[in-house]
Chain A
Amino acid sequence: MLSRNPPRPVEPPGLPQPRGPLSAALIDALKHGPVAQSVPEDCDPYGEDLQLALYCSYELHYRGFASVPDDREWDPTLLAARASMERLFLYALRADVAGGADDVDVDAELATLLIEPIDAPGVSHHLRRDGELWQMREYVALRSRYHLKEADPQALVIARLEGPAKTALVTIEHDEYGAGNPDRMHAKLFADMMDALGLCSAYGQYLDAAPAEVLAEVNLMSVCGLHRGLRGALVGQFATVELTSSPGSDRLVKALRRLEAPAAAVDFYAEHVEADAVHEQLIRRGVIAPMLAAEPALARDVVFGIRASGLLADRLSALLLDCWGQGRSALRRPLAGAMARTG
């Protein structure tokens, strides 16, 4: 019930370096006060500039930034800028994942996630087979953009659900937050893994290192969590994570053990093998089934959430495997410091 560890002081992170005119204007507005800005129509919806600007806009709803006043969260000028960026991002995603008549077949969509490929070229397969420690550390540093606030974007949807779907989603979230034990909170286990791998587990660390492909995945969760109209998509996104996480986490446990990582570094993914085998059942039977029975019209958005998550995950996977295949860092700023041997 109570943590065995001393509480850590809450310190909002510093602002990142801009990556183009859009993020430069946004970061400037956060620092000095909002000014109206327009988003160029030809702005790459998946590009570094837009994804960083969008990420910073959303971060005001999570932990904020040092030196940025808290009330900027609801500044109408900033919200207007955010809305234009969201339109571009969502338009691109919808165009890129549109299928055909099966756009509303949630069961078929989920079924594709429940088949386990044994010869897949994905990141967790690579790390399990022949990943190196520096690649594992890069992967964990990049994943910290989400896992240090794990379950927070999905908690935003709770108030938008009704009845049994809400109960089951809260059960999953309760487990994510440690099921009453603060030391078992998944974000805490992730921070412990970062420390054990010699990484810095402070909340805002590695934002400048994270490429757009990483930010886009988190931005999808945030946009779907913050918009009631996208509650179906948020559930689809969450389902994708929960359905695919268990086997992927098992491969990462094997990778960390093969790389002789300390025990504290293995715990996070080991926990997810078991936890997400439960969450998969709960989100399918407890959340999606009753939600669609009550609101059948949400099926299209659930499918959209599943496909958009898959698309963005594939983009990140391609980037990581491409960089690592060439023997170079996938980070915008390579990690400093040697591996701390604490185990």
Chain B
Amino acid sequence: MPEVGQSAVSSEVEDAQEIVLTDDGPILVCGPVEIVLPDGSRVRSDRPVTALCVCKRSRRQPFCDTSHRSRVRIADLAHDIAQEEDRAQPQSAATR
């Protein structure tokens, strides 16, 4: 047993579960987790890191499926890119 005191408290704090809030997407949680859904059912994730959907757009709740990303029409994108004169090699995710 560790001695009761400052060091024990601080190591306890260091061991606290880290949860990362991203500005544009999911919440990241470390380690295997079991998630309780609103209806009481449970889903388990054994990934080293799990990305939980908070935008509610994912079709694989409670996990992120990148549905939070902005969607554009290629035609509009091409127009925007054409306005950027310097860009010789615009990227498109079209193939993937």
Contacts and interface: CB of A to CB of B under 8 A. Distances in A.
Contacts of B50: 278
Contacts of B96: 122, 124, 240-241, 244-245, 248, 313
A298 interface: no
Contacts of A99: 86-89
B66 to A, nearest CB: 4
B95 A313 contact: yes
Given A120-B92, A278-B47, A281-B28, A250 B71 contact: no
A102 B89 CA distance: 11
Interface stretch (B4-12, B19-27, B33-41): B19-27
B2 interface: no
**How big is the B interface, by class?**
35 or more
Contact of A120 (B20, B25, B94): B94
A175 B73 CA distance: 33
Contacts of A245: 96
B contact face: mostly helix, strand, loop, or mixed: loop
Given A282-B49, A285-B20, A246 B66 contact: yes
Interface in B16-67: 20, 22, 25-26, 28, 46-51, 60, 63-66
Contact of A100 (B25, B46, B65, B87): B87
Interface string A156-198: 0000000000000001001100010100000000000000000
Given A98-B88, A179-B46, A277 B95 contact: no
B79 interface: no
A317 B89 contact: no
Interface in B75-96: 75, 77, 86-96
A contact face: mostly helix, strand, loop, or mixed: helix
A118 B73 contact: yes
A277 B26 CA distance: 9
Contacts of A311: 89
B72 interface: yes
Contacts of A278: 28, 47, 49-51, 64
Interface in A100-129: 100-102, 109, 112-125
Interface of A: 96-102, 109, 112-125, 171, 174-175, 179, 181, 240-241, 243-248, 250, 273-278, 280-282, 285, 306-307, 310-311, 313-314, 316-317
